[in-house]
């Protein structure tokens, strides 16, 4: 798996995070293949397009959950012959919900936007048990990011609001820093 970050894209400044599918397509479409490094053997300039596969990505736009089909590209390394899926930073590995979907879900839960967790999960089209797994992962990763002391001082809601109010660049930087620190993506490990 290759995590794709915007330094590796030619036009990332033009990417808006408003619509994640548009962001995803622009991202993948502008990848600078020459700049990719094989995550297994470290070879440079060795990756070329190999195949692609489809997967679901549920996003949250205009207060509705939307099921999308996205195309993930695989690249092959001419040096070690291994293939790697290219995942933009906005995609959480092994999770079918988008980053923004997950943020809004937790936000709506914390502000009690719906009468009950059941009603909220119905609106989002998500199983209640899945929601609680995501919530648990959020709390866990928030603590990993902030440390024990700051985690107690900063509420779940202000933390989520801070992320929601960030620009695409800031969100991506957060995802990269979290990945470096913990070895996994924020929200990864909920499925
Ligand atoms: Zn390789």
Cα→Cα distances 103→96, 124, 154, 156, Å? 14, 12, 16, 11
What percent of the chain is predicted at pLDDT more than 90?
Answer: 52
Top mean pLDDT of 98-102, 120-124, 177-181 is at 120-124
Compare 113 and 179 and report the one with higher pLDDT: 113
- Ligand 1 centroid to Cα of residue 187, in Å, is 28
- Ligand 1 centroid to Cα of residue 88, in Å, is 19
pLDDT over 90 at 157, yes or no: yes
- Ligand 1 centroid to Cα of residue 54, in Å, is 24
pLDDT over 70 at 7, yes or no: no
Rounded Cα distance between 159 and 154, Å, is 7
At 19, is the pLDDT very low, low, confident or very high (cuts 50, 70, 90)? Answer: confident
pLDDT over 60 at 10, yes or no: no
Rounded Cα distance between 164 and 157, Å, is 10
């Amino acid at each position: 798996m290759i995590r794709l970050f915007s330094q590796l894209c030619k036009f990332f400044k033009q990417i808006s995070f408003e619509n994640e599918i548009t962001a995803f397509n622009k991202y993948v479409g502008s990848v600078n293949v020459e700049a990719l490094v094989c995550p297994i053997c470290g070879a440079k300039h060795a990756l070329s397009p190999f195949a692609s596969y489809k997967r679901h990505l549920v996003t949250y736009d205009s207060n509705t959950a939307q099921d999308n089909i996205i195309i993930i590209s695989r690249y092959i390394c001419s040096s070690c012959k291994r293939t790697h899926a290219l995942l933009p930073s906005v995609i959480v590995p092994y999770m079918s919900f988008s980053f923004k979907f997950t943020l809004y879900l937790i936000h709506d839960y914390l502000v009690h936007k719906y009468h009950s967790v059941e009603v909220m999960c119905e609106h989002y089209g998500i199983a209640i048990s899945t929601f609680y797994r995501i919530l648990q992962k959020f709390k866990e990763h928030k603590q990993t990011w902030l440390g024990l002391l700051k985690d107690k001082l900063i509420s779940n809601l202000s933390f989520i609001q801070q992320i929601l109010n960030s620009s695409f660049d800031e969100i991506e930087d957060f995802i990269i820093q979290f990945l470096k620190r913990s070895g996994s993506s924020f929200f990864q490990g909920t499925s």
